[in-house]
Each structure stands twice: as structure tokens, then as C-alpha cells.
Structure 1
Amino acid sequence: MVAKYRKKPIVIEASQWVPVTSGGDHAAVGHYRTPDGDAETPCKHCGCRMHDHGWIDTLEGGHIVCHGDWIITGIKGEIYPCKPDIFEATYEPVAPNPKGE
């Protein structure tokens, strides 16, 4: 039997990624490079050329990072990308506490 579950209300840290060429960066995101691929090949996720993408190593393996993906730091310090539509459906902003945190 399948049961329904709700995500626990946890607070995560996240920032939206843009390529370095657009003025943004994230320490965990490296440049996407593949010796077998063409940098001009369109991405299967967003259609932009692969040269404009990032790469992130996660606990589950490496992932392509598209412009606009959110980079999340989870509750155990794990870092992973999240597509904007999934992020918007799953997370909402948290107001800072009185100490400004």
C-alpha cells in the first residue's frame, strides 16, 4: 500500500546559478567540459549550448547545471542543483530572524 507523506519544514540555503560569463558563480559549480562533446551542442534540458553550462559533483554523481538552476545546500551540507520550476513548487523564502540570520 502506498502512503502519502509531506516534507518536513526545514530551512535550506540556495542561490540561483548564472554562468560566470553573465557575472555569477557558485563555489561548488565548475565549468562543464567533455572531451567527447561539442561545446556548441544544445543542452537536452534547456536548449542552450553546452559551453554555457556548469557541472556539479553530488552524492549521487555529477550533474549538468543550467542557467537559472538553484544550487541548494541541504541539512547535512550536501550540495545539489534543482530546476527552477521544482524549486518554486517546493520552497518558499524564509524571513530573517530578529538577529538578521
Structure 2
Amino acid sequence: MTNLVDELINLLDLESIELNLFRGVSRDVVGRNVFGGQVISQSLVAAYRTLEEQRQCHSLHAYFLRPGDMNAPIVFEVDRIRDGGSFTTRIIMKLNLIDFD
């Protein structure tokens, strides 16, 4: 069990490329595309890494417009929409390009 927890922690430990830009990897769960739960989790990690103070996530919405390639890294671009007194708003764009024949 500890091995699975370590694997999950490593999967969620995104690489910081530059300000508001993070890179993650994929894990083969089932199928040929990236698992949506992984993308949502990594997106949340990316958003949290842009916070100046400790906050809790109250709402999360996701749209899966295209499949992700498990063999390509996933880049998460965080747009800091609002840093208010009570709420913080972020938009995370997942970039993972796939060539279709």
C-alpha cells in the first residue's frame, strides 16, 4: 500500500517550469488516454501552488474537450483570475498535444 501512496505523491508532484506554468506526467491506468481524475488532481495541485496564503478549494469544474496522450508530458498553465479577501479564483489550462492521423 505504501508503494501506491508514494506513486500517487510522485504523480501529483508537478515540476515548476516558470511562474504559473507546471509540468506533470501521466500514469497508465486503463486505456490509451490520460485518466480524467489524474488531470483534475494535477490541476488542483497547480492552482494551489499559485496561492499566496492558505485557502481551501470550495468549487472545482472541469471540461474534457480532447483526449490526452499518456506518452506526452502535461503542461498546466494557471491564470490568476482573482485574489480577494475571501475567495481566490483560478483557471487552469491543460496542454497536451496529440497528433491524429
TM-score (norm 2): 0.31
TM-score (norm 1): 0.31
> Larger % of helix: which?
2
